[in-house]
Structure 1
Amino acid sequence: MVRASGLRSWLVCIDDTDDIGTKGTGEIAEEIAHLLSDNHLSRCAFVTRHQLYVHPDIPYTSHNSAMCFQVRTAKSQDEILEIAVAHLRSESAAASDPGIALLDLQHSCDREALIAFGEQAKEEVKTKAQAYALAELLGIHLSEHGGTGQGIIGALAGLGLRLQGNDGRIKGQFNLPGLEAGEVSLSVGEAIELTGVDRVLSNSGEQLCFKTLLYLSGKVKAVYRDHQVSLLVYEDQGRWRNALKQQLKHY
């Protein structure tokens, strides 16, 4: 039996695995996270979507976003990569340029340099050479698995943005009881219990108390802020409502 003390935490990020009409990168990331889970000895967390720079010189399918998740597992780096890469190769679209980055969170490296790369990748065109050079300098695994391998840029950037802790939307949306019929009224405490988010946060950065009433409708989504899964809300005529699409775009 593997002891809990043998567990280590890793960040895994993939990019550029899809094409129009094929399985999305976020879905593939969720599948990899599930594959890395083994009889409760491993625990996989939520997937964050990180928006990168949109520019004519950057090939992308629809939004140019990388997908990142954290896993706590007793598996070695080689074992993690064997599983993740096999699935990446199997499920990536034929016309895609997939890349994967893997960071041992116990590994000591210049995290600020990694975060800076991620932030720059939201504002400017980065190259494969730059990504490989930084990964080698920091001792981070970075590899390409098809096509041009351009996805390594987003994969490395996604690691940095996840580490930064204030970037990314949580993949998917919450299916709350009664939501399909229209608006649902819940306290903050009830919303946290039903969704599993860490907190409910206003768009101005205020953390709402457990008794505050929320009025939720449509697509209820969370964001990653202050290293926490946060249900983002805004005040509308005295009522707290889940964030609109344009308010979520910041993430």
Structure 2
Amino acid sequence: MKNWLICIDDTDDIGTKGTGEIAEEIAHLLANMSGGHASFVTRHQLFVHPDIPYTSHNSAMCFALRSPLTQAEIHQHAVAYLVAESAPAADPGIAILDVDSRYDAASLMDFGRRAKVEVITKAAAYALAEQLNIQLTEHGGTGQGVIGALAGLGLRLMGSDGRVKGQIKLGQFEDVSLELSVADILEQTGLDAVMSMDKYRLALDELVQLKGKVKAVYLDHQFVLLVHQEAEQWRNAGKQALQAY
């Protein structure tokens, strides 16, 4: 089994399947066909600027994969699905990193940080990918998605960037609250921890009141449910508190 990071960007258009959904489906496909394991998909926010084409939020989607598949096999199957599911007007790109290989992680993370605050060219993305031996390919349109795909790898490697794609399912409805212990939350979701906004790690027997859209983040290289205290009770953090991720 080897460890991989795979990131895609710019696959959708208004009214079509989102990039996060496509990434999740590719993750499940690769894990199921190889007896491997795929992580949650994380969404990484990139620079929003008039010179950068994007559908709605300009974000890349990344997941980790532990699998016996070769890089060529991963690329073949992931690209086939990417091409089949991307919107006709999209500019999709995909980046694949062999996490167990020797590469300059600092340069890759720096690229990710830059992509959050400045306009970066395709040429710069390809040059860095070649330097770091990262497989980076485009599959339609302008291929601008390669920039976000490479940046997403770097941001995921940083360990404290990105929201987990979708809502965390715990049986609650948005207008009904549900109280669970931290132990129950972790068991039911597969998350790694429940933490306060200032990174206090809740004990397994502490109770959390869950209501509305329950979303997780990638923090300290863990998948974490963020909570805040209100009237001496822990509650899941809302949308505004998660904007930083």
Q: TM-score range by the shorter chain?
A: over 0.9
2:215 is the alignment partner of 1:221: yes
2:188 is the alignment partner of 1:194: yes
Distance 2:172 2:88 in 1: 40
The alignment-based identity, stated in percent, is: 61
1:30-53 Cα deviation digits (max 9, x unpaired): 111111124662111110000001
- What's 1:3 paired with? none
**Letter aligned with residue 151 of structure 1:** G
Distance 1:222 1:151 in 2: 25
Q: Which runs of 5+ in 2 are unaligned?
A: none
1:47-126 paired onto structure 2 within 5 Å: 47-126=41-120
2:237 is the alignment partner of 1:238: no
- What's 1:247 paired with? 241
Q: Secondary structure at the match of 1:154?
A: helix
- What's 1:171 paired with? 165
Distance 1:250 1:173 in 2: 17
Segments of 4+ moved more than 4 angstroms: none
Distance 1:246 1:181, change over 3 A: closer
Q: Which runs of 5+ in 1 are unaligned?
A: 1-6
1:190-247 Cα deviation digits (max 9, x unpaired): 1111111100010111111111111110000110000000001111121111011011
Distance 2:130 2:76 in 1: 20
Matching residue within 12, 17, 21 for 1:18: 12
In the superposition, the TM-score normalised over structure 2's length comes to 0.97
Distance 1:110 1:180 in 2: 44
1:28-80 Cα deviation digits (max 9, x unpaired): 00111111124662111110000001011100000000000011111111110
Distance 1:61 1:214 in 2: 35
What is the RMSD of the two structures over their aligned residues, measured on CA atoms?
1.1
**Between Structure 1 and Structure 2, how many residues are aligned?**
245
After TM superposition, give the deviation of residue 175 of structure 1 in Å: 2.2
Distance 1:143 1:95 in 2: 17
Distance 1:217 1:128 in 2: 42
